[in-house]
């Protein structure tokens, strides 16, 4: 029974470390971000979005990128704090619990940022454009983020 909390903390640490390598959690490099922006711009042109709505969508993208940079910084700090708390010989469970809550709150904030951006984008499109946009983004996600080997 005594080793059980250590096992749980080790498993939690492994899971959280794995999650941090997923691009959606902020480990996007600049090249990846540029590719996504270029793909979105190309997709918007293909969807024949009106110039005024295209400007609004591009402004939305820029605003969301800036906001996400702050969220990613929070996520990175909470990850480092959690790693440090888990690295000591006898981690304080209460402290780790608080850091886990902070870390998962930052993750939720990041996910909400992507969801809110998508909702705002969709509000500027017709249903047909929405459907085509979603399918284009899904193809891109599968090709770039989840390549099949």
Q: Per-residue pLDDT averaged across 59-66, rounded?
A: 89
Report the C-alpha gap between 88 and 57 in whole angstroms.
47
Is the pLDDT at 74 greater than 90? The verdict is yes
The pLDDT assigned to 112 comes to 93
Q: What is the rounded average pLDDT for all residues in the chain?
A: 80
Q: End-to-end alpha-carbon separation of the chain, Å?
A: 42
Q: Per-residue pLDDT averaged across 58-72, rounded?
A: 90
Q: What does the block give as tokens for 82? A: 């959690």
Over residues 75-112, the pLDDT tens digits come to 999 999 999 999 999 999 999 999 999 999 999 999 99
83 vs 35 pLDDT, higher one: 83
Report the C-alpha gap between 110 and 131 in whole angstroms.
24
Angle at Cα 118 formed by Cα 113 and Cα 123, nearest 5°?
130
48: left (phi over 0), alpha (psi -120 to 50) or beta: left
Report the C-alpha gap between 3 and 59 in whole angstroms.
52
């Amino acid at each position: 029974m005594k080793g059980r909390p250590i096992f749980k903390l080790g498993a939690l640490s492994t899971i959280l470390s794995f999650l941090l390598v997923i691009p959606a959690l902020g480990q996007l490099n600049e090249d990846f971000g540029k590719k996504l922006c270029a793909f979105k711009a190309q997709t918007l042109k293909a969807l024949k979005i009106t110039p005024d709505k295209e400007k609004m969508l591009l402004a939305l993208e820029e605003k969301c990128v800036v906001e996400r940079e702050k969220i990613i910084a929070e996520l990175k700090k909470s990850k480092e704090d959690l790693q440090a708390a888990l690295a000591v010989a006898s981690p304080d469970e209460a402290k780790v619990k608080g850091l886990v809550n902070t870390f998962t709150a930052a993750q939720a904030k990041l996910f909400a940022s992507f969801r809110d951006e998508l909702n705002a984008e969709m509000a500027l499109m017709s249903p047909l454009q929405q459907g085509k946009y979603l399918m284009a983004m899904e193809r891109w996600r599968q090709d770039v983020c989840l390549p099949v080997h």
